[in-house]
């Protein structure tokens, strides 16, 4: 995925981890200066969430998240998904607050699914499944209390 910072620098790499503040760890990174004419290769970097302007993620991610949300709903919503399924973004997220079609309650389940399992199923957070990061970044209120409930 590609990360652009507020200062215009971009970082292109594989997401390996993220947290509720959108802090990210990327591996195999290509950093580009804001004017776009200097490049650096970094094996790993940590990006503080509040310096980010936007993330550009692969198209497939949207479908994966939707599928997972549908699965979650099918499994009965609230307390259903312990273990592997681990929420639509891989483990750590509480409450699917990214409303898809408005109807997704998210629920507290959130999923404990260890990152390991999750990865094998080829689904990660926003990172295209290569590592199964911890969820989409954002905060994820408490399920029901979140804005679309």
* CA separation for the pair 74, 86 (Å, rounded): 14
- How many residues bind another protein (CB under 8 A)? The answer is 31
Residue 12, φ and ψ in degrees, nearest 5: -115, 115
Left if phi > 0, otherwise alpha if psi is -120 to 50, otherwise beta: which for 7?
A: alpha
> Which residue, among 130, 136, 142, has the nearest Cα to 89 in the 3D structure?
136
Residues 106-145, one symbol each (x = binds another protein by CB under 8 A, - = not), give: --------------------x---------xxxxxx----
Shortest Å, Cβ 149 to another protein: 10
> Which residue, among 81, 149, 101, 93, has the nearest Cα to 126 in the 3D structure?
93
Q: Identify which of residues 121 and 148 has a Cβ nearer to another protein in the complex.
A: 148
Instruction: Tell which positions 19-38 bind another protein, by CB under 8 A.
Output: 22
15 lies in the binding site for another protein (CB under 8 A):
no
- Using CB under 8 A, pick the residue from 12, 23, 32, 100 that binds another protein: 100
């Amino acid at each position: 995925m590609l990360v652009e910072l507020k200062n215009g620098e971009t970082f292109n790499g594989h997401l390996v981890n993220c947290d509720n503040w959108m802090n990210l760890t990327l591996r195999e990174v290509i950093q580009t200066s804001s004017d776009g004419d200097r490049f650096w290769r970094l094996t790993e970097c940590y990006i503080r969430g509040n310096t980010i302007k936007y993330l550009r993620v692969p198209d497939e991610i949207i479908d994966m998240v939707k599928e997972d949300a549908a699965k979650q709903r099918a499994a009965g919503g609230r307390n259903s998904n312990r273990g592997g399924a681990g929420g639509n973004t891989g483990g750590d997220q509480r409450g699917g607050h990214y409303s898809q079609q408005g109807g997704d309650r998210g629920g507290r389940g959130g999923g404990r699914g260890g990152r390991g399992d999750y990865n094998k199923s080829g689904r990660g957070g926003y990172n295209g499944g290569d590592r199964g990061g911890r969820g989409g970044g954002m905060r994820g209120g408490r399920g029901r209390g979140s804005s679309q409930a």
